Chain A
Amino acid sequence: MTRTARAILRKDLRIELRTKESVPAMTLFAITVYVLFHFGLDRDSLDGELASGVLWVTLLLAAVIGVSRLFAAEREQGGIDGLLLAPVDQTALFVAKAAAMFLFLTAVELVAVPAFALLLLGPGLGGALPELLAVLALGNLGIAALGALVAALAAETRAPELIVPLLLLPLLVPVLIACAQATEPLFRQDAGPEDLGRWLGLLTLYDVVFVLLSVAVFDFLLED
């Protein structure tokens, strides 16, 4: 399974590097949304819960863009037939697509989080960086797993770009809650983690449930 998953992942990464479609668009989108928030909230600097909320809502919206494109290459070359014709374990496909989404999100955040600190964050990032990274990692995992599932669900509908946001965003509300609550004390003037364990625990539970669930049902999405 891992060999197949690696082959699919390599193929998807190669296409992304060649076309440079998803990651730059997601990053640019995130920065644009920061500017929108600046004008919309009429604030130069944010801290605490406002900063946390703006960051995570922006990341979620950017993720929606990436998820809509996750099966685009397959859709364009005539559907997922190519995958079904190969001796591929469908779980491998899920793992590969979720891993791709995770890597895209990480790449986007490498630019988008420092950009956020530069543009909008009052206190600055230095305060509690390791904790922030932990939250980002677990949050990305949840977004990636659910993103792969939703992308596959939407892939065969008539208007996937409409269905993906409508499905993905409500399903990610627990991730948003946990990440925003966990990050809020990290963005205060006197930064320091508070109740981090509780929120990381919720994220872990969510990630475990949806990774297992997606692996269990993925087969039914591809067979005919």
Chain B
Amino acid sequence: MYSKGLAPLAAATVVTVTAALSMVFFYAPNDADQGFVQKIFYVHVPMAIVALCGFIAGGVFAIRHLRSGDSSWDLRSYVAIHMSIILGVGVLVTGAIWAKASWGHWWVWDEPVLVSFLVVFLLYCVYYPLRFSIEDPGRQARYSSVFAIAAGAFVPLNFVAVRLAEAYTHPRVLSQTGGSMPGDMRLTFLVSIAGMALLFVTLWKLELTAKHASMQLKRLRNRARVAA
């Protein structure tokens, strides 16, 4: 049910990611100020964008779950959030590496995207203890969906709030994440985003298929045990 279109999707992912990697190493120019290290930006920012979209998608799936009562939407929501949290770890780690290489500190409060991402990440980490400390399965799914919706609405609000705050205390330091990118950097950047997005969707579908299969297996085992 979930694996429809998985093969062509996986193929597209491999092609795009390969293209992105080649472009990052061979096509995009070395940054004048920061040198080779700046290229981590092609991983860090697409990861952040895809993770944030994943969180919001989790919220949208959660809305569909509550409206329809169909638990397959809850599964889609759970996997999307689960994968975005993992990507989130990657965002924070690559962000730290970039900060260390650029400014000599492992963490900087200057970049509002990174800071608001930290808050969002801390929030979504609570998804697991919330979900798994509710025993009733129906309730567990419903409450997780409510959380996913509230947290999904929170993401843009938080971003706006942090950006407003940082504008007051720290002047915008980084211009690469702005619009003033030279053409070849912009192209590499776009291909990187596409590759990361496709990777996310492929892995999402894969995990959905795997979870669905293991749930069916458990169901069959239970039925066999009851019949015996």
Contacts and interface: CB of A to CB of B under 8 A. Distances in A.
Contacts of A210: 150, 153
B129 A177 contact: no
Contacts of B120: 170
Interface stretch (A34-42, A61-69, A113-121, A151-159): A151-159
B66 A167 contact: no
B119 A149 contact: no
Nearest to B151: A171
Contacts of B186: none
Contacts of B126: 163, 166-167, 170
Interface residues of A, number: 30
A157 B134 contact: yes
Interface string B126-161: 100110011110110011011101110110011011
Interface residues on B, range: 20 to 34
A221 interface: yes
Contacts of B165: 177, 181
Contact of A174 (B66, B135, B157): B157
B162 A153 contact: no
A156 B161 contact: no
Contacts of A217: 66, 146, 149-150
B103 interface: no
B138 A224 contact: yes
Contacts of B145: 220
A163 B134 CA distance: 11
A153 B146 contact: yes
A220 B146 CA distance: 8
A173 interface: yes
Given A149-B150, A177-B164, A224-B138, A157 B157 contact: no
Contacts of A166: 125-126, 129
A25 interface: no
Interface in A124-157: 149, 153-154, 156-157
Given A220-B142, A221-B142, A173 B119 contact: yes
A177 B135 CA distance: 36
A210 B126 CA distance: 19
A170 B130 contact: no
Given A153-B146, A171-B123, A217-B66, A205 B129 contact: no
A18 B52 CA distance: 46
B168 interface: yes
A107 interface: no
A133 to B, nearest CB: 22
A181 B163 CA distance: 13
B168 A221 contact: no
Nearest to A201: B164
A171 B154 CA distance: 7
A162 interface: yes
A75 interface: no
A178 interface: yes
A205 B161 CA distance: 11
A206 interface: yes
Interface string A201-224: 010011001100110010011001
Contacts of B160: 174, 202
Which 7 interchain pairs have the tightest Cβ spacing? A174-B161, A170-B123, A157-B133, A158-B133, A166-B126, A177-B161, A177-B165
Interface of B: 66, 119-120, 122-123, 125-126, 129-130, 133-136, 138-139, 142-143, 145-147, 149-151, 153-154, 157-158, 160-162, 164-165, 168
15 contacts: A153-B130, A154-B130, A158-B135, A170-B119, A170-B120, A170-B126, A171-B123, A171-B150, A173-B158, A173-B162, A177-B161, A177-B164, A178-B161, A202-B161, A209-B153
